[in-house]
Chain A
Amino acid sequence: MTPRLAVLGAVAALAGCATRMPQTAEEFRTMAPGGFMIQVQSFEVKRSTREVGETFRRRAPECLNMTIRTTSSSPGSYQVIDAAYKATVITRSDKAELHLQQKHLKGVITVYQEPADGHYLFVVDAVPAGARASKVQIIGPSRGYDAVVRAIKAWADGSSTGCPDMTKIG
């Protein structure tokens, strides 16, 4: 599958064949689950929600906020796609949120109206599950973003602070 097809597929999946795309993280939480190529993962970590949120706050912007150019060529065609990624972290005493948005700057025509910073790719929520434990839920694409999912899981459980190679996703 070419990057463009993958992207269009994901966009269609996120839209859930509906007439509009989620414009907020809350709409994404409601609309995305059950969509084509969308996966919802839930797991528990032995860290407080405050600690999880602190790691998200420290790592997500510096690891995820970037613009990536993908090029692909085949006989008779050459394609360039520029995608900007924007991470947003919201922390409260009882919840930590990580949102990742993707905005195509070049090479992909947007079918639906997107939020200003691009469509929602991931919405991650961590909530308390005991004294020093949290339940983490990741809603995002089921394929093509393994490195991002592994990085987020590692940030959540505290096993690594590594960044996903954003040139390998999509």
Chain B
Amino acid sequence: MRACALVLCGAGLLAGCGGTIRYPEAAEKNLHIRIETSSGSAFSSVKAVLGVHAVDARCGLKYEGMVALDRPQVQVGIPADRLSYLVFEFASSSFLGGSRGSIAYETLLRPRVGRSYEVRVSYKNDIYDVVIRERGKAGREIDRAGLAACRRQVVPSNSR
């Protein structure tokens, strides 16, 4: 239900409804996002956005804003050493038939102090993917973790 609400929230944002909160610019940008989107058809389009939520001690969410992933590279500052819930949403629409749909990839992230992360976001031919790697020698991939992991106190600071 919560995921559904998040998707609806994102859909509202994509629709350009009033009240859109832009995620604040941070001095230190620790998320380096590479975006590649293609609907695979001249008659449809896909847009990607990132919604950022703060996660409190009881795993409740507080919406902090959205970032349009409308350029090949976007940099975002996510508070370090604090749990955030990232919602990458892909909204597609077809010019013929007027169909619309959106699907989201959600994950918890607790960035480490002094570290930065490479995020690869792609949507191509109806296949979407989000891969988050901590920058560094090992380039370890960060596991996807839903809110259930927060409730189990299994926070994604472990590698795959």
Contacts and interface: CB of A to CB of B under 8 A. Distances in A.
B129 A168 contact: no
B127 A154 contact: yes
B6 interface: no
B101 interface: yes
Given A62-B144, A168-B101, A163 B125 contact: no
B102 A167 contact: yes
A165 B129 contact: no
A163 B144 contact: no
Nearest to B127: A162
Contacts of A162: 122, 124, 127-129
Interface string B80-94: 000000000010100
A150 B126 CA distance: 9
B105 interface: yes
Given A62-B144, A162-B122, A167 B101 contact: yes
A62 B12 CA distance: 24
Interface string A133-170: 00000000000001100110010000011111111100
Nearest to B107: A62
The binding surface of chain B is classed by DSSP as: strand
For chain B, the bracket of interface size reads 10 to 19
B102 A163 contact: no
B67 interface: no
B144 A165 contact: no
Contact of A161 (B92, B101, B124, B129): B129
Contact of A164 (B122, B127, B131): B127
A53 to B, nearest CB: 16
Contact of B125 (A62, A150, A166, A167): A150
B103 interface: yes
Nearest to B46: A165
A163 B127 contact: yes
Interface of B: 90, 92, 101-103, 105, 122-129, 131, 144
